[in-house]
Amino acid sequence: MFGAGGVGKSTVGKFLAGTLTDEELLKGYLDSFATEKLPISERSFGHVLVAPGQRRRQSVREELLELVRDGKIGGVINVFAYGYHSFPGDAEGFRNDAAFRDGMDPPAFMDAYLAARRRDELEQLSEAADALSKAPKPLWLLTLVAKQDLWWDRREEVETHYSGGEYKSLIDRIVGGRGKRGF
């Protein structure tokens, strides 16, 4: 499972593994320092591997992409959130984010923040494109757009974003690199 930091990969992974609890949901956002390896179930073969999404953990993500390139991973879930990434901090914490500019009120900041995080989502998918294109065995690829409760009122905009434009171009490039039989 790949995606930017704070999109909900750990939550989805724990859900798939059957270990997600109310207590887990209440903890809030915590950085992942390493790959999370979660069993799918006691009766199934395999694991969900959740890559950390923070840029400072790039080397860990690269290790998982190498497993994709080597054909040791059978499928990839790309988790996105239309820019609604979690960020630590208090109510004024947004002022410490790189998207903040002097004089911004919270709504202006959110517009800038969401746009910057969507760019990060695309950059991370672009970085994974080579591994996905070169995997020697067929694999499955799923896009999961999380945090629907935060963007549902803009769902047509979100659908257009992921079904067209730069995102679709990246997916087309990945599929074109493997051919449709590669998936």
Q: String of b and e for 72-81 (b: at least 16 CB within 10 Å)?
A: ebeebbbbbb
4: left (phi over 0), alpha (psi -120 to 50) or beta: beta
Mean pLDDT over the full length of the chain: 82
- What pLDDT was estimated at residue 12? 85
Least-confidence region, from 55-59, 131-135, 178-182: 55-59
How is residue 146 written in tokens?
Answer: 């999380």
What is the pLDDT averaged over residues 114-127? Answer: 91
Q: String of b and e for 121-139 (b: at least 16 CB within 10 Å)?
A: bbebbeebbebbbebeeeb
Instruction: Report yes or no: 38 and 16 within 8 Å, Cβ to Cβ.
Output: yes
More confident residue, 156 or 128: 156
What is the pLDDT averaged over residues 99-110? Answer: 90
Q: String of b and e for 94-114 (b: at least 16 CB within 10 Å)?
A: beeeebeeeebeeeebeebbb
What is the pLDDT averaged over residues 7-26? Answer: 80
How is residue 66 written in tokens?
Answer: 């190498």
Record the pTM.
Answer: 0.82
What is the pLDDT averaged over residues 163-178? Answer: 88
pLDDT band at 147 (very low <50, low <70, confident <90, very high): very high
How is residue 154 written in tokens?
Answer: 């803009």
β-bridge pairing 140-145 and 75-80: parallel
Q: Residue 41 and residue 175: Cα distance in Å, rounded?
A: 30
Least-confidence region, from 28-42, 121-135, 156-170: 28-42
What is the pLDDT averaged over residues 75-79? Answer: 90
- What pLDDT was estimated at residue 2? 87
Q: Residue 37 and residue 56: Cα distance in Å, rounded?
A: 20
Which amino acid is present at 138? P
Nearest in space to 54 (alpha carbons), one of 29, 17, 75: 29
Encode pLDDT of 47-66 as tens digits: 677 676 666 666 777 888 88
